[in-house]
């Protein structure tokens, strides 16, 4: 009976996000990080080997696909170059102040926490690497989630598919704001859209930057299925193949790095 | 021979008794390694409940209530579920398994399997309720159903491994 009461009490206390609960989670994270790193290495090697075998088997078709893609990209490169020139001229005319450049930390994924109701990752980067909560976690394809807890050497990242994940996004075509929420099925959908929202299949979804922690314009996914007022989103990032992720610092740290040396607080404090 | 106040045979007995709990904690850690099982959403292969059920059925002293609480706590603190959900799920499995023990302990494998189905449905219903309380809203039943499926799928393998371990253990004790 005592055990059941203790379990119920922890369930209720867990909602309050108490410091000692958070601290015990972080302590456990740091204690386990070295063991998880060592144990995940052979698995990573296995994944890499199987990927190499798969790549080798599809060499011919991949080569043809790359040739086609290369021809297309060359056309786009010319267009991009012309647009960049034009953009630079317009920015100079308008005295445009560019946003701060983001800094990245690349970290290996050492654990996948997929219980029944949580979908998160443990990555091998923590306070030592200047990781802070709420920083964006991305791959080369798009956003994956955000940092939730930061230990000394490891951090816990909440995936976009977690039921607790709610991200401010914008539909690129119609410029309408929405919230991308994780579902209990481990998928993502758009919520809090206005009644007359204009959403179509294949619409690109990017971060809106609202809240400040996650930069605007990060690619998230595309609208994959529309059924009445339910809009399912397919993420660009492949959450099943996360070996390494990048953690984006777009906050105060990045702004401080962009300041001229005479104004840099970090330099003054050293 | 004595060390730390324990005879060698006592130390061996304690080691053997704690093996199921240690194996279960081992399974928990191995299951969170990046196997890329996320495609099996929602949830991953964390077959702790079949382990609890097996030991409660066949050797309750090897899986005491305190150990079940510890397994739930480790699982929750690791961040696999909202705090308390793992504890209540595993305690429910322990309680339901203990209630059914008398009826199915010496029965056939299909009977044990049917018992697991009852235990898994009950425990994950408790877990689902606890998760809804912890998250502050009613959540879909899909994760709970998926976890029941995982438990039923992994039980034959787990039972086979544990039965072998238990047999080796009995041989050791007789020797």
User: pLDDT digit string (tens) for B127-165?
Assistant: 999 989 888 888 888 888 888 998 999 888 888 888 888
| β-bridge partners, A169 | A178, A207
User: pLDDT digit string (tens) for A144-163?
Assistant: 999 988 998 899 999 999 98
A83, pLDDT greater than 60: yes
Residue A189 structure tokens: 């959908």
**Separation between Cα atoms, residue A251 and residue A243, nearest integer Å:** 25
Pairing, β A166-171 against β A176-182? antiparallel
- CB of A148 closer than 8 Å to CB of A106: no
Q: In this structure, how many other beta carbons lie within 10 angstroms of the beta carbon of residue A156?
A: 24
Distance spanning both ends of chain A, measured CA to CA: 56
A134, pLDDT greater than 80: yes
pLDDT of A265 reads: 42
* Number of residues in chain B: 175
Please name the residue of chain B whose CA is at the shortest distance from the CA of residue A47. Answer: B35
> Considering only CB atoms, which chain B residues are within 8 Å of A29?
79
A46, pLDDT greater than 90: no
Among A24-28, A94-98, A164-168, the range scoring the smallest mean pLDDT is: A94-98
**Separation between Cα atoms, residue A127 and residue A140, nearest integer Å:** 23
A4, pLDDT greater than 80: no
Higher pLDDT, A223 or B7: A223
Q: Which residues make Cβ contacts (< 8 Å) with residue B94, sequence separation at least 6? A: B52, B56, B63, B65, B68
**What does the buried/exposed string (b/e) look like for B92-124 if buried means 16 or more CB atoms within 10 Å of the residue's CB?**
bbbbbbeebeeebeeeeeeebeebbeebbbbbb
Q: How far is A167 from chain B (nearest CA, A)?
A: 17
Residue A42 structure tokens: 């052979």
Interface test mutation site (partner A, options B56, B80, B140, max chain A beta carbons within 10 A):
B80
pLDDT of A268 reads: 39
Q: Specify the pTM.
A: 0.81
**C-alpha distance from residue B126 to each of A146, A159, B82 (Å):** 29, 25, 13
> Considering only CB atoms, which chain A residues are within 8 Å of B142?
184-185
Pairing, β A136-138 against β A166-171? unpaired
Which residues between 26 and 85 in chain B have a beta carbon less than 8 angstroms from any beta carbon of chain A? 29-30, 32-39, 41-44, 46, 65-66, 68-69, 72-73, 75-85
Q: What is the arithmetic mean of pLDDT over A124-144?
A: 91
Q: What is the helix (H) or strand (E) element at residue A119, kind and residue range? A: strand A119-123
Q: How confident is the model at residue A267 (pLDDT cuts 50, 70, 90)?
A: very low
User: pLDDT digit string (tens) for B16-50?
Assistant: 778 888 888 888 888 888 887 655 444 555 778 99
Q: How confident is the model at residue A15 (pLDDT cuts 50, 70, 90)?
A: low
CB contact under 8 A, A115 and B77: no
Helices (H) and strands (E) counted in chain A, each on its own, are 5, 12
User: pLDDT digit string (tens) for B56-90?
Assistant: 998 888 889 999 999 988 888 877 678 888 899 99
**Separation between Cα atoms, residue A210 and residue B60, nearest integer Å:** 54
Which residues between 139 and 168 in chain B have a beta carbon less than 8 angstroms from any beta carbon of chain A? 139-140, 142-144, 146-147
Please name the residue of chain A whose CA is at the shortest distance from the CA of residue B35. Answer: A43
Higher pLDDT, A205 or A184: A205
**Separation between Cα atoms, residue B144 and residue A184, nearest integer Å:** 10
ipTM (interface predicted TM): 0.81
């Amino acid at each position: 009976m005592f055990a059941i009461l203790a379990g119920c009490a922890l369930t209720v206390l867990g909602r309050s996000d108490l410091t000692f609960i958070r601290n015990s989670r972080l302590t456990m994270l740091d204690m386990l990080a070295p063991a998880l790193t060592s144990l995940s290495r052979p698995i990573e090697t296995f994944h890499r080997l199987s990927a190499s075998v798969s790549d080798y088997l599809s060499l011919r078709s991949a080569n043809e696909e790359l040739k086609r893609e290369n021809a297309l990209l060359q056309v786009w490169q010319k267009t991009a170059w012309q647009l960049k020139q034009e953009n630079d001229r317009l920015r100079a005319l308008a005295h445009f102040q560019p946003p701060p450049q983001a800094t990245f930390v690349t970290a290996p994924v050492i654990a996948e926490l997929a219980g029944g109701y949580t979908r998160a990752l443990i990555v091998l980067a923590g306070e030592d690497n200047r990781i802070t909560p709420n920083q964006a976690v991305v791959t080369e394809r798009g956003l994956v989630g955000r940092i939730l807890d930061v230990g000394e050497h490891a951090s816990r990242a909440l995936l976009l598919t977690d039921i607790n994940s709610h991200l401010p996004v914008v539909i690129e075509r119609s410029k309408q704001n929405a919230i991308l929420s994780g579902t209990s099925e481990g998928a993502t959908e758009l919520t809090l859209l206005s009644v007359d929202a204009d959403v179509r299949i294949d619409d690109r979804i990017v971060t809106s930057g609202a809240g400040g922690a996650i930069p605007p314009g990060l690619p998230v996914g595309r609208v994959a299925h529309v059924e009445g007022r339910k809009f399912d989103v397919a993420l660009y990032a492949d959450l099943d193949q996360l070996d390494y992720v990048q953690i984006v610092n777009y906050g105060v740290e990045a702004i401080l790095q962009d300041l001229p040396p005479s104004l840099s607080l970090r330099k003054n404090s050293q | 021979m004595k060390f730390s106040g324990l005879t060698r045979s006592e130390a061996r007995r304690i080691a053997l008794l704690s093996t199921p709990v240690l194996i279960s904690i081992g399974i928990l850690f191995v299951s969170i390694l990046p196997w890329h099982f996320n495609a099996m959403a929602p949830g991953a292969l964390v077959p702790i409940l079949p382990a609890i059920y097996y030991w409660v059925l066949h050797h309750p002293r090897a899986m005491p209530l305190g150990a079940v609480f510890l397994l739930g706590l480790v699982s929750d603190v690791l961040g696999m579920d909202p705090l308390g959900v793992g504890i209540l799920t595993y305690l429910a499995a322990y309680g339901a398994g203990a209630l059914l023990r008398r009826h199915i302990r010496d029965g056939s494998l299909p009977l044990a399997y049917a018992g697991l189905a009852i235990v898994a449905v009950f425990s994950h219903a408790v877990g689902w309720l606890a998760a809804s309380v912890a998250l502050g809203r009613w959540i879909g039943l899909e994760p709970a159903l998926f976890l029941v499926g995982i438990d039923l799928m992994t039980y034959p393998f787990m039972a086979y491994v544990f039965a072998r371990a238990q047999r080796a253990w009995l041989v050791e004790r007789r020797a």
